[in-house]
């Protein structure tokens, strides 16, 4: 299977295939003590109405990086937190499993995967990948492992499905190739009036037999060696403002030297998160060199999620050996001796 993306139409036609495995990896950022707070990672226009009884709180609006005074945003977006009446009012924010929303509504047959269970709890940097053995155990518990099955991953978020592309990348890195992401995710599926189910889905455990493909995981040392190497392309997947250093996020300001900026949010139609046409995407990306079979490509972002979305898009266009710098800017900027470049003073 060379394609990394399937359409809602394709999934609807194949929903009853016994060899199909569907995984909902919905994840939110949640306030400690809250029962229904979540971040929307899309530019906020001010036109949407809150749910009944809920209030909105625009965070990061007035925050700046102390040293540079650059505005603080994440991936170029205004982060909109919806706090429902019974949500907590104090505490920090953390990743929150979407198990609750999965049980409320999901694509029939889909199991839910907790993204936190697929991150290394002892990792030096936030949300880095598990070891192969630990991942194999988690994947097998989700019913993933039989190479004759085909896995489709989606999430229920708004915007690009980088939670889904993250699991897509992890599965491929650990040696499972028959996997794709659902175009437009659950939002597109529901908007088209396709069937949904509720309740918990219990997967049948299987043995995961893949082997790690180290070439799909870039280390900080490999990224350092790639700087200025004409045979390698480092892709910054963050927003143009992040890349130029106009904003401060993920512990640093600017971009890794010699990296090029291909914003992960530029490959889809914001109306329904469907992908731009194949020919249009190829025409946009071909001049960058990232589709050149002779180039090694490494993608990074803030914490290793948006970078997997770019890897997914490049893979779908034929570039199947893209490596992801898992630690991304969190890891790079943790050592102040590592260089960053900006386009602003």
**Are 207 and 137 in contact, with CB atoms under 8 Å apart?**
no
pLDDT value, residue 252: 80
> Left (φ > 0), alpha (ψ -120 to 50) or beta: where does 141 sit?
alpha
119 has catalytic annotation = no
Q: Kindly report the pTM of this predicted structure.
A: 0.83
Distance (Å, whole) CA 95 – CA 116: 7
pLDDT bin (cut points 50, 70, 90) of residue 192 is very high
Q: What is the pLDDT of residue 345?
A: 55
Q: What is the predicted pLDDT for the residue at 51?
A: 38
Q: Is the separation of the CB atoms in 112 and 197 below 8 Å? A: no
What pLDDT does 197 receive?
97
Residues 107, 113, 164, 301: which is the catalytic one? 301
Render pLDDT for 109-132 as a digit per residue (tens, 0 to 9). 999 998 888 989 888 887 899 999
* Mean predicted lDDT score pLDDT of the chain: 82
Give the residue with greater pLDDT, 13 vs 334.
13
Domains parsed from the chain with CATH numbers: 5-26+98-212 (3.40.250.10), 29-93 (no CATH), 215-332 (3.40.250.10)
- What is the tens place of the pLDDT at every residue in 244-274? 998 776 778 899 999 999 999 999 988 888 8
Phi, psi of 250, rounded to the nearest 5 degrees: 60, 30
With 70 as the cut, is the pLDDT of residue 100 above it?
A: yes
**Inter-axis angle of helices 278-285 and 306-316, to 10 degrees?**
110
């Amino acid at each position: 299977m060379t394609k990394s993306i399937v359409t809602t139409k394709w999934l609807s036609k194949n929903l009853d295939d016994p060899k199909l495995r569907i995984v909902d990896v919905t994840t939110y950022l949640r306030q400690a003590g809250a029962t229904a707070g979540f971040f929307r990672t899309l530019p906020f226009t001010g036109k949407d109405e809150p749910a009944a009884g809920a209030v909105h709180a625009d965070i990061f609006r007035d925050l700046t990086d102390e040293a540079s005074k650059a505005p603080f945003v994440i991936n170029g977006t205004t982060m909109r937190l919806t706090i429902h009446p019974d949500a907590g009012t104090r505490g920090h924010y953390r990743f929150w499993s979407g198990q609750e929303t999965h049980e409320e509504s999901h694509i029939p047959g889909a199991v839910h995967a907790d993204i936190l269970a697929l991150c290394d709890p002892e990792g030096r940097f936030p949300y880095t990948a598990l070891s192969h053995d630990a991942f194999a155990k988690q994947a097998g518990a989700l019913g993933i492992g039989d190479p004759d099955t085909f896995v489709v991953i989606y999430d229920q978020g708004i915007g690009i499905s980088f939670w889904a592309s993250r699991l897509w990348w992890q599965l491929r890195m650990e040696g499972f190739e028959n996997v794709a992401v659902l175009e437009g995710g659950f939002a597109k599926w529901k908007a088209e009036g396709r069937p949904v189910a509720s309740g918990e889905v219990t997967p049948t455990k299987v043995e995961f037999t893949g082997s790690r493909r180290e070439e799909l995981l870039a280390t900080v040392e490999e990224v350092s060696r790639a700087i200025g190497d004409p045979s390698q392309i480092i892709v910054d997947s963050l927003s143009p403002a992040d890349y130029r250093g106009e904003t401060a996020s993920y512990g640093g300001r600017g971009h890794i030297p010699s990296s090029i900026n291909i914003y992960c949010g530029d490959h889809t139609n914001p109306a329904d998160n469907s992908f731009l046409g194949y020919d249009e995407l190829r025409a946009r990306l071909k001049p960058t060199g990232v589709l050149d079979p002779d180039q090694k490509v490494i993608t990074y972002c803030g914490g290793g999620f948006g970078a997997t979305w770019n890897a997914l898009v490049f893979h779908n266009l034929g570039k199947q050996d893209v490596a992801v710098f898992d630690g991304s800017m969190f890891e790079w900027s943790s050592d102040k001796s590592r260089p960053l470049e900006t386009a602003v003073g």
